[in-house]
């Protein structure tokens, strides 16, 4: 295990990580400041932050340092990532973060993306050599599905329930298209802001996400990835809240 200390917002942050894959995400968040455009949202939200695709907890640590009083819910389905996330949250005294080992799946979709076993939803998580590239979305895979594990899952609708969400952050390697396309109408009104990392392929385009999100009364800002035009961040604000 490797470790790195970063100064952020006048605080020392200590992060345990495993390899260059983890390090690339550390740099993305704390060096390149990919989420700089949502800092004011984090600082000013009065409602829960939902971090879907939390990896090893880096965005939630980032958000917790900015706003230690607001509740943050972390969701990461891959067991090794989840264990390291718990370790990093504890290391940085993030007492406002609740961690759950869960995948988020769409409420409705074509085909059988998930199954129910004794009233517990599960789904396939397709594994990548890079720890931040695991995905539940077969539509995002350009070759035959790689090795997978079965993980516990929950729909976004059940997860949110009747809670107001100040910021919904999604980084789920193509799964964002399935979630956004199938969100129940009432859920849109429960969310103040969305920060979604998009992962384009021939079947799913950024414009698809933008059009759906705008149709539900959100403004959308686009922050493209400078290294790969297929990726980037959409920051969306509900104009009705």
Q: Looking at the predicted structure, is the pLDDT value of residue 141 above 50?
A: no
Give the residue carrying structure tokens 């607001």: 70
Average pLDDT over residues 25-47: 95
Average pLDDT over residues 2-11: 95
Average pLDDT over residues 124-131: 78
Least confident range from 42-51, 59-68, 109-118, 183-192: namely 109-118
Smallest Cα–Cα separation from 66: which of 11, 129, 124?
A: 11
Smallest Cα–Cα separation from 50: which of 196, 150, 223, 174?
A: 196
40: buried, middle or exposed (CB in 10 Å: 19+, 13-18, 0-12)? exposed
- For residue 192, give every residue at least 6 positions away whose Cβ sits within 8 Å of its Cβ, in sequence order, or none: 41, 45, 47, 164, 165, 166, 167, 237, 238, 241
List the domain boundaries for the chain: 2-101+158-238
Is residue 166 a contact partner of residue 45, using CB atoms and an 8 Å limit?
A: yes
Is residue 77 a contact partner of residue 63, using CB atoms and an 8 Å limit?
A: no
CATH superfamily of 2-101+158-238: Vaccinia Virus protein VP39 (3.40.50.150)
């Amino acid at each position: 295990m490797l470790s790195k200390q970063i100064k952020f917002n006048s605080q020392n942050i200590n992060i345990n990580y495993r390899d260059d894959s983890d390090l690339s995400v550390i740099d993305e968040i704390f060096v390149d400041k990919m989420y700089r455009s949502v800092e004011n949202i984090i600082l000013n939200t009065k409602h829960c932050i939902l971090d879907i695709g939390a990896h090893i907890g880096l965005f939630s640590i980032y958000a917790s340092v900015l706003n230690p009083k607001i509740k943050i819910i972390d969701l990461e389905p891959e067991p090794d990532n989840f264990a390291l996330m718990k370790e990093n949250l504890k290391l940085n005294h993030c007492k406002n973060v609740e961690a759950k080992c869960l995948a988020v799946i769409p409420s409705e979709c074509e085909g059988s993306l998930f199954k129910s076993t004794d009233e517990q939803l599960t789904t396939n998580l397709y594994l990548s050599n890079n720890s931040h590239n695991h995905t539940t979305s077969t539509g995002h895979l350009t070759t035959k599905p790689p090795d997978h594990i079965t993980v516990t899952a929950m729909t976004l609708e059940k997860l949110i329930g009747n809670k107001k969400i100040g910021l919904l952050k999604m980084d789920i390697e193509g799964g964002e298209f399935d979630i956004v396309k199938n969100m129940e109408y009432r859920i849109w009104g429960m969310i103040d802001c969305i920060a979604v990392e998009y992962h384009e392929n021939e079947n799913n385009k950024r414009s698809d996400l933008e059009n759906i999100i705008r149709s539900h009364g959100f403004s959308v800002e686009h922050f493209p990835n400078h290294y790969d035009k297929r990726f980037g961040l959409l920051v969306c604000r509900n104009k009705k809240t």
